[in-house]
Amino acid sequence: MSPLSRRSFVSQAALGLAALGMSGEAQRTAEAQLVWKGSEWKLAEFQKLVSHPARVKQVFDVTQITGGKFLNNIKNSLNGLQFGFDIPKDQIKIAAGLHGPANLTNYDDYIWSKYRIGEWLNVTDPATGKPAVRNIFYPATHALGAAAFAQDPSEEKSVYQDTSVQALEARGVQFLSCHTAIEEQARILVKREKLTQTPEEVVREMLAHTVPGVLVVASMVAAVALLQTEGRFAYTAV
């Protein structure tokens, strides 16, 4: 092989390798963003939660959906603090850190319907008796106007006995979703549903369909650690 043809071959090979490298990088970008950096999410909003000045602060660490039973635990804590221990409601701050299957509680009816979340997580819609194709844990069961908060907290139909995400948010609970869990769950859904979408496309779609008020954090296990150590949040696992 002449020096010229050898140089030409090497140049073409280098270009080919570069193209493969660029293709591989593009594929990695499309398919995997398992770790968020601080500039990629609402870190400042999370820091405000950490430094909340409430007298009593509690973080619930929740992984299992268990038919939404953890929501009842949060409701009971709120009622006990506010009414049993006479802590003013503005001096109570509860964060619900959801990861694992419980993380899907943070996403709207579109996600539950499209990806058949009820079938996947064995959640039955009481209205149909079939696997839920809507987020049955989100909507309030009672009106949330000012009059609702003047009700007797022992009244079963009062806002104080409403265990929905929407009612608990109205009482000041901050729901947190885990980005790492979303990435893992997207990969499961792609395989389970035999999707043509990439996992990262599913992640982006999910992020566009969080229920109102949810804050997505980079990593829930890390967020819980910071809430405990820097924020003085009491830790409760359910």
Residue 93's DSSP bridge partners are 57
Kind and range of the H or E run holding 176: strand 174-178
Count the alpha carbons within 13 Å of 225 in the hemisphere toward its beta carbon: 5
Q: Which domain holds residue 187?
A: 41-237
Clarify whether residues 70 and 4 are in a common domain: no
Grouping H, G, I as helix, E, B as strand and the rest as coil, residue 130 is: strand
Is residue 168 one of the residues assigned to a domain?
Answer: yes
- The rounded distance, in Å, linking the Cα atoms of 74 and 226 is 20
Clarify whether residues 136 and 180 are in a common domain: yes
Clarify whether residues 1 and 97 are in a common domain: no
| Phi and psi angles of residue 50, each rounded to the nearest 5 degrees, phi first | -55, -40
126, pLDDT greater than 70: yes
Is residue 35 one of the residues assigned to a domain?
Answer: no
Is residue 232 one of the residues assigned to a domain?
Answer: yes
Clarify whether residues 25 and 60 are in a common domain: no
Is residue 36 one of the residues assigned to a domain?
Answer: no
Count the alpha carbons within 13 Å of 190 in the hemisphere toward its beta carbon: 17
Clarify whether residues 170 and 96 are in a common domain: yes
Q: What is the pLDDT of residues 137-184, one digit of tens each?
A: 999 988 888 788 888 999 998 999 999 999 999 999 999 999 999 999
Is residue 2 one of the residues assigned to a domain?
Answer: yes
Clarify whether residues 94 and 24 are in a common domain: no
Place of tokens 């140049």: 11
At 77, the pLDDT band (50, 70, 90 cuts) reads: very high
* pTM for this predicted structure: 0.85
Number of structural domains in the chain: 2
Clarify whether residues 91 and 162 are in a common domain: yes
pLDDT of residue 143: 81
Clarify whether residues 15 and 65 are in a common domain: no
Instruction: Say if CB 74 and CB 60 are below 8 A apart.
Output: yes
- 65: nearest Cα among 28, 102, 99: 102
Is residue 196 one of the residues assigned to a domain?
Answer: yes
Clarify whether residues 48 and 95 are in a common domain: yes
Stretch 3-20: mean pLDDT, rounded? 46
Clarify whether residues 23 and 78 are in a common domain: no
32, pLDDT greater than 70: no
Is residue 186 one of the residues assigned to a domain?
Answer: yes
pLDDT of residue 38: 82
Clarify whether residues 113 and 165 are in a common domain: yes
Stretch 60-77: mean pLDDT, rounded? 97
202, pLDDT greater than 70: yes
Grouping H, G, I as helix, E, B as strand and the rest as coil, residue 61 is: strand
Clarify whether residues 24 and 47 are in a common domain: no
Stretch 48-77: mean pLDDT, rounded? 97
226, pLDDT greater than 80: yes
pLDDT of residue 10: 44
